Amino acid sequence: MKKTVKDIDVKGKKALVRCDFNVPMKDGVITDDIRIVSALPTIRYLIDGGAKVILMSHLGRPDGEPKKEFTLAPVAERLSQLLGTEVVFISSDRVVDDKVKEAASDLKDGQVMLLENVRFRKEETKNGADFARELSELGDFFVNDAFGTAHRAHASTAGVADYLPAVSGFLIEKEVKFLGNAVENPKRPFVAIMGGAKVGDKIPVIENLLKKVDTLIIGGGMAYTFFKAQGLEIGTSILDKDNVNLAAVLLEKAAAAGVTILLPVDCVCGREFKNDTEFGIYPKDKIPSDMMGLDIGPETVKVYGKVIKDAATVVWNGPMGVFEMPNFAKGTRAVAEALAESSAVTVIGGGDSAAAVEQFGLADKMTHISTGGGASLEFLEGKVLPGIAVIQDK
């Protein structure tokens, strides 16, 4: 168990908090503030506890340069509105300078300040020790609440913990609780659903999950690489040529471990990779040579739905088809609905499956939706995330 802000005395102390304020922006205006809203519980807890709160985050990819279009000024403004209190913001090209240090040391208990985009400094993504020390000198303890960057060893996500005691905020606490419990201590039957286009990216996850799950459901573009490994014809479906052999090995490993791997039994195939193309439903062994599989078919939906219904824990990562195109979104929607109706603990990995669940309006029916795409995948791979490893154990 990792320490959280609740495990330490925060009153009168300077809390250096890493948030994920990497919000989508258009022409300097925030188009979706969910990441700021999600960070509020930890910030409010610290304010109410009488800490002096110093927030840091990255925004976009300024590549180590102080580029004005990536300033966190709009975030400071939005945060002030949401908190109903002033958020001190000093835009410094160096993130930390004398003015910033002075403002930080002038903070009163319960006051909040936001630093400029930490990626204005090249040292941030290189985990430069000097920058980490400069940041750490602003605080008395470090709170990591940015799960989306927890898989990166950057100065503001991990480096600062070389100089300050580190605890987690409520967002990371929740991610560790649900993702961690699902993988390490699942109620059984434990079912993992993997989808998406690239098998290559998901192989380490599949390998790790094969050691843990009772059933592994495969859908999306990666299914065709497994079909190829089984000697089936896949028409013009997406194929990860380099990983066909590995797919065969994974099928063998699953069999040896007594894990059931479910592949689609039918597919919705289209002539071209676009929504308004001619399409039809074909059994997996009758995919026409001039068509591509773009979604799981209705028979597959039935099989997968039944397995999900009987599961006690389900982890889902990656869409079942090209869900961005309405004609090929039915399989992904059906799986999302099956999860929503299930009484199992349902954990959705970040990225596309999270986006799909939101798109279908089913987000509040899931036990947990991870906020980090890459971070949740690495978690499911069983890797130690640097931004979590630095947090003190209870």
Region 210-239 residues binding ligand AMP, contact defined as CB under 6 A = 220-221, 238
Q: How far apart are CA 180 and CA 167, in angstroms?
A: 17
For residue 48, how many other CB atoms are within 10 A of its CB? 10
Task: Please confirm, yes or no, whether 198 is among the known catalytic residues.
Answer: yes
Task: Please confirm, yes or no, whether 152 is among the known catalytic residues.
Answer: no
Least distance (Å) between residue 348 CB and ligand AMP = 13
The piece of 33-41, 59-67, 316-324, 384-392 that touches ligand AMP (CB under 6 A) is 316-324
Task: Please confirm, yes or no, whether 188 is among the known catalytic residues.
Answer: no
270 binds ligand AMP (CB under 6 A): no
**Member of 261, 322, 336, 369 binding ligand AMP (CB under 6 A):** 322
The piece of 225-233, 317-325, 338-346, 357-365 that touches ligand AMP (CB under 6 A) is 317-325
In three-state secondary structure terms, 90 is: coil
| Catalytic hit among 198, 253, 271, 383 | 198
Q: How far apart are CA 54 and CA 138, in angstroms?
A: 8
Calculate the CA 56 to chain-centre distance.
19
- Which stretches within the chain are classed as H helix? 34-48, 73-83, 98-106, 129-136, 170-175, 181-184, 199-210, 222-229, 244-257, 298-310, 330-341, 352-359, 373-380, 386-389
Task: Please confirm, yes or no, whether 35 is among the known catalytic residues.
Answer: yes
Region 273-312 residues binding ligand AMP, contact defined as CB under 6 A = 293-294
How many helices (DSSP H) and strands (DSSP E) are in the chain?
14, 17
**Member of 44, 126, 198, 253 binding ligand AMP (CB under 6 A):** 198
**Member of 33, 272, 324, 337 binding ligand AMP (CB under 6 A):** 324
321 binds ligand AMP (CB under 6 A): yes
Least distance (Å) between residue 201 CB and ligand AMP = 6
Host H or E run for residue 369: strand 368-369
Nearest to 314 by CA among 302, 323, 306, 322: 306
Q: How far apart are CA 208 and CA 107, in angstroms?
A: 46
The piece of 62-70, 101-109, 144-152, 320-328 that touches ligand AMP (CB under 6 A) is 320-328
349 binds ligand AMP (CB under 6 A): no
Q: How far apart are CA 241 and CA 100, in angstroms?
A: 52
Residue holding tokens 């001190």? 88
The piece of 42-50, 244-252, 314-322, 381-389 that touches ligand AMP (CB under 6 A) is 314-322
What is the set of active-site residues?
35, 198, 351, 374
Contact residues for ligand AMP, defined by CB under 6 A = 196-198, 201, 220-221, 238, 293-294, 318-319, 321-322, 324, 352
